[in-house]
Structure 1
């Protein structure tokens, strides 16, 4: 199988072919950094599970656009399009297809059971891993069943040859016989219209000057799932590869990218982790279909993000944000200390940053800066003057403590919450207080801006200084360029008046995405996309920066 992009399309090795609301997609990526030879239907209910394998009868190249997946070879072709979030249509013209269970093993408690339904003549896979059924209804041509229903290892599925057409549905226990009346062409046209409307809403400013905008919109659109399991709202997963969760800071960037064009969907993104806020006020580390994790938290950037959200829901949002902030001020402050602490690098979102090498329970400057911004936002949204004054005073005290206790005159240090020992590192994390913008004294934000400039490569700000002995090209937060740090730094520099540096960071990151797509992170020296290659907060960062750049350009 040859996987390639065509025209405005994309490679399914990088970005799964999927549809807004669907819990499954089509990709050869079947596990973390694991690529199959053939395209699979991969479900994200109860985890990431390859369910069905799609094998053309002859060698065929695969191309994808937002509305159509196509195999072409040996004088024939197969087309696949979504009819709805849980139904796809496939059509073959002169090219056959073998559609089989991805897992050939059947035991009493695992594996795919396959049967021919006597009610409507369809073929059905029942899959233990997802707890769902996958039904094939023949609309044209003939399907020949494969394999045996006995326990053990065997190929189970159907073959289709010549000219044929089928509908493939995902459902739970029972469903009326397939009754779709639209032609395949009508299905394709409707899918294209669905995506075009989304792209027009999210990126109405797109042009030849923003060549990655439409693909960025597709990454968000196709990674969106309908409510199911613990996912209480329509949600943009971080990816429909293996990073198929909503983490409690990633969601903020997706909400911001959607805010102008699709405010209701944007609020769903912002609110989803708050639906699982615990009794202490903490947000979960992550939420996905069948799992909520509270073993870590994520940094409180929510006040910063809230200032960039559409108006609405102020009273409820205030209450939720107040509880989240109070968690940090009570559960994460040593008695007598003004500054809060992380319990692990994972709490910061910068899991293995070198800031945490000397210790894990650490008072850091970025955390204090985020909470200052969050308390400022609470003061703006407070229901009465007394509450506003209380939050303003708390923000002032934390800002003053940040500067008095962690600023050395040319840099911020981190401090052990137990011993009080301090240290500095070569991590970009130490420079994140630039998010305070003009609230920092001029000498402080100017020194931070100069240090940030030292982290810049041709592609953007490296998360570890490139000359550091700890720098690694694929070192997660020890070198690679990440979208969230880039957006936060660009915004803080701009608000501090360092617009030239902010403009340069924005331009370099936008070019990086246009060159290397929307990877989880990027090699800071080469610009190569690393890890998960269809990461939504990266696509959102591109849309946020491109939209802002277009607004500035058009003003001038």
Structure 2
């Protein structure tokens, strides 16, 4: 045993406390397979781009029975295995297969799609007909009886009786006759344990009171790794295998911020994917996924376009495709990796990509020609359901202005560092112009930056009015008013802050996405803005409050109710950027 192993094992033990097979499914880095609780057993689904989990079932129900014929319930879950009563366990056998094994006599029942009369089922194969699993199958060692029968509600129950030492059933995606990745169940379990051991070995070090959830958040990042076959099997840390299976540009930036503390190379891979597919004019795509990219309304899945057409949305008009991207935090994310990766050529190319993207915003997204770029559609803001989009498009929003100022400042700094004085001056001048336009959006009577829809000021007071703090360049009188808003219980000082819409606003909803719930990324950006604006203690307070919120809610959910501090009802769990930013904030708070 090496000196590092006790800490590695401790991280796995800490993460195991959160693995409930509901909010946190059983999975493996790089695998599409998800195992979750089902009636008396578990179910096996696949994570697919733009498909609901209920439409991605490979095994509807997997149940284990002991030698006495009684159902063997789940007794323990760890990152590397699920244990059933009687000594049977389930683990991975490589990213595309599960292994279920044990000693003595036991039985497993699988409910799978297809009729019991289908010839393929008799040979151990069936057809989930999913992109990642057009076919699936089982193989056994130690089976002395196989029984097929029709399930009452459709599909087939496959009953396999096993006996002997290390008997097992292997459920694999692909050709069922392919050789097993491991020679036995115990070998598969050992290999899966090594995968998680290597991952947990990188868990960032934090304060003792933050260690449990940091370990779980590190598990979340590992669990959310998928490979993208259409991208050379690149590793993407997706927002969630439960519903968000692709690399969203904005998510990649926040996820990289957390990954850099334990796996800077994987963090770099996220930016490389986000930067790898710009349009000819420099626009970065919203999403990189298995089948391509999502860079305009033409790239939306057909079902999304049909829904939007029914709603009368211009984004679904095939004659007028709308670019889809995400807010310009590319330079912010790239700066965070400098000094952690020794690859000057890659950084040079990445900075050039960021510079072209910045030019795209001013050349192609200043839709009214006033010098201030706008969001052409809510999808490009990352804040899809925010009330700032209740009015007409395009929307000039103070958060976008703040991001653009910050990005031009960072590009100017980089240009100076490589001796490009002309580029540095160009970026610096534009940042000053954008700052002046941002200050014109300040409504002194209301005490916040107003967004504008199609040129008209909007009534909604939202957290986007606080994000220009990131520039570190706002006049003191404006910063003071923003601090007042953060301290006002009728605005942003809810019991669990910071709500994404002011509590006094008519559009405030504690549960509705982007209309009130707290998001970890917004809090993290505001905390950084407070720090660079000269309010280090206020920044630390918000960091600690955000860490306490995630702990109170029991994990890194997508968004949180600002009144109760609990997961909002419709929020996704084990959410990538919440996990990554919890780690980032925990490391900062532990320094």
TM-score tier after normalising by the smaller chain length: 0.7 to 0.9
Higher strand share: 1
- Is 2:355 the counterpart of 1:322? yes
Where in structure 2 are there 5+ consecutive unaligned residues? 1-13, 66-70, 298-323
Equivalent runs, 1:288-327 vs 2, <5 Å: 288-290=289-291, 292-294=293-295, 295=297, 296-311=324-339, 312=343, 313-327=346-360
Where in structure 1 are there 5+ consecutive unaligned residues? 29-34, 118-122, 552-556
Question: Paired residue for 2:537, among 494, 500, 503?
Answer: 500
Q: CA deviation at 1:485?
A: 0.6
Partner of 1:24: 33
Q: Distance in 2 between matches of 1:403 and 1:239?
A: 37
Q: Distance in 2 between matches of 1:37 and 1:453?
A: 49
Partner of 1:210: 211
- The 1:451/1:394 distance shift into structure 2, 3 A limit, reads same
Question: Paired residue for 2:47, among 44, 48, 63?
Answer: 44
C-alpha deviations, 1:280-312, integer Å up to 9, x for none? Answer: 322222233235323332111222222212344
C-alpha deviations, 1:369-427, integer Å up to 9, x for none? Answer: 1011111222222352211211121112111221134454732111234xx32134221
Q: CA deviation at 1:8?
A: 2.4
- The 1:16/1:165 distance shift into structure 2, 3 A limit, reads same
- Partners of 1:82 and 1:89 within 8 A in 2: yes
- The 1:62/1:326 distance shift into structure 2, 3 A limit, reads farther
Equivalent runs, 1:279-428 vs 2, <5 Å: 279-290=280-291, 292-294=293-295, 295=297, 296-311=324-339, 312=343, 313-334=346-367, 336-382=369-415, 384-406=420-442, 408=444, 410-417=447-454, 420-428=455-463
Aligned-partner SS, 1:522: coil
- Partners of 2:48 and 2:245 within 8 A in 1: no
Partner of 1:446: 480
Partner of 1:524: 562
Q: Distance in 2 between matches of 1:369 and 1:270?
A: 21
- Is 2:540 the counterpart of 1:540? no
- Is 2:68 the counterpart of 1:65? no
Q: CA deviation at 1:147?
A: 4.0
Q: CA deviation at 1:477?
A: 0.5
Q: CA deviation at 1:540?
A: 0.6
Partner of 1:468: 505
- Partners of 1:424 and 1:430 within 8 A in 2: no
More divergent stretch after superposition (44-53 vs 220-229): 44-53
Q: Distance in 1 between matches of 2:176 and 2:111?
A: 21
Q: Distance in 2 between matches of 1:307 and 1:157?
A: 54
- Partners of 1:143 and 1:159 within 8 A in 2: yes
Partner of 2:471: 436
Q: Distance in 1 between matches of 2:223 and 2:369?
A: 48
- The 1:466/1:179 distance shift into structure 2, 3 A limit, reads closer
More divergent stretch after superposition (155-164 vs 391-400): 155-164
C-alpha deviations, 1:151-171, integer Å up to 9, x for none? Answer: x95415443456641223223
- Partners of 2:15 and 2:213 within 8 A in 1: no
Q: CA deviation at 1:505?
A: 1.7
Q: Distance in 1 between matches of 2:431 and 2:119?
A: 59
- The 1:422/1:194 distance shift into structure 2, 3 A limit, reads same
Q: Distance in 2 between matches of 1:154 and 1:369?
A: 55
Q: CA deviation at 1:71?
A: 3.0
Q: Distance in 2 between matches of 1:332 and 1:235?
A: 28
Q: Distance in 2 between matches of 1:475 and 1:352?
A: 8
- Is 2:17 the counterpart of 1:8? yes
- Partners of 2:205 and 2:211 within 8 A in 1: no
- Partners of 2:520 and 2:578 within 8 A in 1: yes
Q: CA deviation at 1:524?
A: 1.2
- Is 2:575 the counterpart of 1:550? no
- Partners of 1:202 and 1:257 within 8 A in 2: no
- The 1:147/1:275 distance shift into structure 2, 3 A limit, reads farther
Q: Distance in 2 between matches of 1:442 and 1:466?
A: 25
C-alpha deviations, 1:429-473, integer Å up to 9, x for none? Answer: 222111113x22222222222213331333331111223332222
Partner of 2:169: 166
Q: Distance in 1 between matches of 2:566 and 2:477?
A: 35
- The 1:315/1:336 distance shift into structure 2, 3 A limit, reads same
- The 1:154/1:174 distance shift into structure 2, 3 A limit, reads closer
- Partners of 1:231 and 1:287 within 8 A in 2: no
C-alpha deviations, 1:108-152, integer Å up to 9, x for none? Answer: xxxx984355xxxxx223321234332322133345142479xx9
Question: Paired residue for 1:97, among 85, 94, 108?
Answer: 108
The alignment's TM-score, normalised by the length of structure 1, stands at 0.86
